[in-house]
Structure 1
Amino acid sequence: MEQLGIGIGWRPEIAAAVEELPGVDWVEVVAENLCPGHLPESLRRLRRRGVTVIPHGVSLGIGGAERPDTGRLAALAERALLLESPLVTEHIAFVRAGGPLTASPPLEAGHLLPVPRTRDALRVLCENVRVAQDSLPVPLALENIAALISWPGEELTEGQFLAELVERTGVRLLIDVANLHTNHVNRGEDPAAALDELPVEAIAYVHVAGGMEKDGVWHDTHAHPVTRPVLDVLAELRARVDPPGVLLERDDAFPPAAELAGELTAIRATLSGRHPLPRPVSAPVARAAAPAAAPAVDPARQRLALAETALLSSLVAGTPAPDGFDNRRLGVQSRSLAAKRADVVAKVAPELPELLGAEYRRAFLAYARSRPMSGGYRRDALDFVQQLLDTGRPADAAVRRALRRWWQERAAPHPPTRTARLARAARRTLVRGTRRGVGTT
């Protein structure tokens, strides 16, 4: 397995810092944020220096009941070839549900949700992984995710679930030690026990990230410093295997370059084995025989589809919670998903918080409570503005006119011309000045 070394997640906000940080051997980039025809110059410079770049997908939903979307797989393959990457990575999660298997409207979570650790879910996941592997030009590695909620009636531990997945498919693993810590706090799962059951020889690389605890729930924010307990889990993993690569993730509230360098130094110190833990003797993991070929209509897929749709509908559409879930945790997860939507829409459509000011977040969260996402974040932004306009909001007529122009320009079949974009920018400046009480002549 390729030795990657120490890496950091490349983000546009810290592109310059990443280029200057000492001892960065490789970077990871969110695959969906790359436009193949317009690769950022910072990534071009890193590649010319020999820095490996790995695309990390977030929207495939390989743990969903439907087979992986061919368009999303083709996009991942395109980015792997563009970057000459040794592998691509994704998450063991579902991100959408509903649709033909349940004869219900499609729903999107806008975030990663855990799959149930059941035999049905494992069987479907293995089939989906094989489809993905056949479509990609390089090996695939899958990441364990952080979770706020637990599925009732699970049949396997996390370690057993991942071990069987590897045995049946040969897929590699991306182990996020911060997510193991998150699941320790939120679900009472022992990270050391999970590591004991893992096939550590399948690890392609490791993620390290920060988070925060609030009201007894750990939030995997990627916007806070890496904590000591997360580094302790990294030390536990290092006691079992020398991972081919370790990467620091940061997605928001970016600190100065010196703080990022300090976190990378802490990771290196943890990996150095200065305080090695005793190497445990791993217990053998029970291996299930490979399942027989699935029938034309797969009951396992249908059962998984119904379960995931019921859960997602309760989280984003306010339908009754499925039996066996913790209602308080479902509430935390639901609010987290809505907040995530608001944050991402603000990034993909930065004009909206500019125009609406302090009212943006309150208005968007009210919209999210009544309108599940079903077409991606850009569609979500358009639907949000349309709902505002349909209900005669906001009260400021100038802002309403600006929002209507914004919506019309983006809802048209063709993007606006350069002249239209310049005129729109001038109008936004005028509206902002009016809202701040600045006079014009």
Structure 2
Amino acid sequence: MERLGTGIGWRPEIADAVERMPGIDWVEVVAENMCPGHLPEALQRLRERGVTVVPHGVSLGLGGADRPDAGRLTALAERAEALRSPLVTEHIAFVRAGGPLTASPSLEAGHLLPVPRTRDALDVLCENVRVAQDALPVPLAVENIAALICWPGEEMTEGQFLYDLVDRTGVRLLIDVANLHTNQVNRGEDPAKALAELPVEAIAYVHVAGGFERDGVWHDSHAHPVPEAVLDVLTDLASRVRPAGVLLERDENFPEPGVLEGELAAIRAAVEKGRAAGGEPARAVRREVAATAAGTGTVTAATTEEPPTAAPSPVAAAPTPPPAAPSGGADGARQRLALAQAALLSALVAGTPVPEGFDRGRLGVQARALAGKRADVVGKVAPELPGILGEAYRAAFLAYAHGHPMTGGYRRDALDFAEHLLLSGRLAEGRVQRELRGWWLERSGPVPPRSGRGRVARVARRVLSHR
């Protein structure tokens, strides 16, 4: 893996600042926001200057029960080739559920949701990763995600789950230290022990981001400063392995360039502090985990004399999982995972009963977070809507989202929201109604054959009748 150095997440809002920022060796872009034939000029200039650009996917849903969509894989491959990227990255998450495997409506989460750390989920994930690897022209790295909720009946720790994934597929890892911190607060998981179990030699690069805590729950916002606790996890990681690259993520609420440069300097300092530590914190944790796994409570001389730069042995460190239940084959694993994910997602976005074993309060927090994220993204995809509705936009959208799950992506969601408002009769006749009606009519057609032309025509007649 080539050395990447220090990078930052490229976003249009900070494009000019990133172009002038000193010490930026590489950038990461959201793959779905890039069009290979029409790259932003600022990004092209960075690429021509020799700055590496890595596409970061958010919509594959590699942890979902369905096999990866061929069209999405083709699009990700095209972006990797257009950007001449050394690798592409995605998430260990599911983003949609339902459909043919469950004989239920397809639902979109609009955000990343955690997969259960079970053998079924691991089997499905490994197969999905192999499908993606075969379709991509460059290596794939997958990212651990932040979680607000815990699945009942998990059979592995995060470290063991990731170790087995790497062992079975050869995939590389994108480790987000902010997500490890999030899971410490929300799930009580020690990031040091997670790092001790990881195959650190498989790490392609590292994410660092900020967030905030509210009522004992950590929200991975990517809109707040990086806290010291996250930098401490980065220092611990850097004491175990020298990461090829470290990148600062910021998605909104962008500060002045000088503030971002200060955060990058703090990240570099945390990495150097970890290197200077010589690996002692890592060795101490590995000795503790190995002793616990062995059931002896003692440490051998060979363990205490481990070289400072040696990678941990996840095989020795990871707890032994319980025996696997009869699987019914790969298709059986997909079926069980599909039913479980559909039940969870339906509870989060459609208000159906909470599946057994989940924390009802935490699911409520997650449901509100999904609705808020959905409102934010629709507002970015269709900025005219907040412009037309003003301060009433967010409350109106959250009320709409409560009873209307997303089924077709954010652009479709924006149109459906506007249609709902127009047909609900809640808008008084006036400027807002006229502008919203015009916006909807302009963007609802023409439509491709067999994609709902008749429905659009019927709705248009109803909308026009409100004039």
Considering the TM-score relative to the shorter chain, is it more than 0.5? Answer: yes
- Provide the rounded CA distance (Å) in 2 between the counterparts of 1:320 and 1:159: 31
- Name the CA shift for 1:5/1:402 in 2 (closer, same or farther; >3 Å): same
Partner of 2:388: 355
- Provide the rounded CA distance (Å) in 2 between the counterparts of 1:195 and 1:36: 36
- Provide the rounded CA distance (Å) in 2 between the counterparts of 1:395 and 1:156: 55
Write out aligned runs for 1:193-342 (5 A). 193-273=193-273, 276=277, 278=280, 279-280=282-283, 281=286, 282-285=312-315, 298-342=331-375
Cα displacement string for residues 4-53 of structure 1 (whole angstroms, at most 9, x for unaligned residues): 00000000000011011111000000000001221000011001110000
Partner of 2:122: 122
- Provide the rounded CA distance (Å) in 2 between the counterparts of 1:331 and 1:362: 17
- Provide the rounded CA distance (Å) in 2 between the counterparts of 1:270 and 1:400: 53
Q: CA deviation at 1:273?
A: 2.5
CA contact (8 A) 2:123 2:330 kept: no
Partner of 2:143: 143
- Provide the rounded CA distance (Å) in 1 between the counterparts of 2:72 and 2:95: 13
What is the TM-score with the length of structure 1 in the denominator?
Answer: 0.91
- Provide the rounded CA distance (Å) in 2 between the counterparts of 1:207 and 1:102: 35
SS of the equivalent of 1:336 reads helix
SS of the equivalent of 2:96 reads strand
Q: Which range moved further: 197-206 or 270-279?
A: 270-279
Give the root-mean-square deviation of aligned CA atoms. 1.6
Q: Structure 1: state its 5+ residue gaps.
A: 416-441
Q: CA deviation at 1:207?
A: 0.1
What is the TM-score with the length of structure 2 in the denominator?
Answer: 0.86
Q: CA deviation at 1:284?
A: 4.2
Q: Does 1:92 align with 2:120?
A: no
Q: Does 1:399 align with 2:423?
A: no
CA contact (8 A) 1:7 1:24 kept: yes
- Provide the rounded CA distance (Å) in 2 between the counterparts of 1:67 and 1:87: 21
Partner of 2:456: none
- Provide the rounded CA distance (Å) in 2 between the counterparts of 1:132 and 1:163: 19
How many residue pairs match? The answer is 411
Q: CA deviation at 1:236?
A: 0.7
- Provide the rounded CA distance (Å) in 1 between the counterparts of 2:427 and 2:180: 44
- Provide the rounded CA distance (Å) in 2 between the counterparts of 1:273 and 1:259: 21
Q: Which range moved further: 35-44 or 182-191?
A: 35-44
- Provide the rounded CA distance (Å) in 2 between the counterparts of 1:264 and 1:176: 15
Partner of 1:47: 47
Partner of 2:32: 32
Q: CA deviation at 1:271?
A: 1.0
The correspondence for 1:346, drawn from 379, 390, 399, is 379
- Provide the rounded CA distance (Å) in 2 between the counterparts of 1:296 and 1:382: 41
Q: Which amino acid aligns with 1:186?
A: N
CA contact (8 A) 1:349 1:378 kept: yes
Q: Which amino acid aligns with 2:52?
A: T
Q: CA deviation at 1:189?
A: 0.3
CA contact (8 A) 1:393 1:400 kept: no
Partner of 1:419: none
- Provide the rounded CA distance (Å) in 1 between the counterparts of 2:424 and 2:248: 44
Q: CA deviation at 1:153?
A: 0.5
Q: Which amino acid aligns with 1:399?
A: V
Q: Which amino acid aligns with 1:119?
A: R
- Provide the rounded CA distance (Å) in 1 between the counterparts of 2:426 and 2:414: 15
Q: CA deviation at 1:414?
A: 6.0
- Provide the rounded CA distance (Å) in 1 between the counterparts of 2:110 and 2:210: 21
Partner of 1:426: none
- Name the CA shift for 1:247/1:297 in 2 (closer, same or farther; >3 Å): closer
Q: Which amino acid aligns with 2:206?
A: V
Q: Structure 2: state its 5+ residue gaps.
A: 287-311, 449-467
- Provide the rounded CA distance (Å) in 1 between the counterparts of 2:4 and 2:260: 19
